[in-house]
Amino acid sequence: MKKVLFLTFLFSILFILLTFLNYKIEVIETEIRDLEIINKKLEKDLVFYKSEWEYINSPENISSLSNKYLDHKPAELIKFQYFIKLFSNERLNNE
C-alpha cells in the first residue's frame, strides 16, 4: 500500500511539474510569435525607409533641391595669364 501511495504521489508531482513546464513553453511561444510580428513590421518599415532614402538621394532630386534652395552660380575658369598676374600681385603685396 505504501508503494502505491508513493508512486501516486510521485506521478502527481511529475504531472504538476509537466503542467508548469507546458505553461512556460506556451508563454515563451506567444512571446516568440509577438516578436516575429514586430520583426515583420520593422522589416516593412526598413524597406519603406530604404526606398525613401533612394528617392531623396537620387541625383535628379539633389539637383532640383540644390537649384531650388541654394543660390549658387556656375564657376567660371579664369585664363592662365590672369592667374599668373593675380599670383604675382599677391607675392608683391606680401613682400
C-alpha 51/C-alpha 65 separation (Å) is 18
Tell me the pTM: 0.53
* pLDDT score recorded for residue 14: 95
* pLDDT score recorded for residue 41: 97
Range of the domain at 69: 2-94
- Express each pLDDT in 18-42 by its tens digit: 999 999 999 999 999 999 999 999 9
The DSSP code for 58 is: S
* Total domains in the fold of the chain: 1
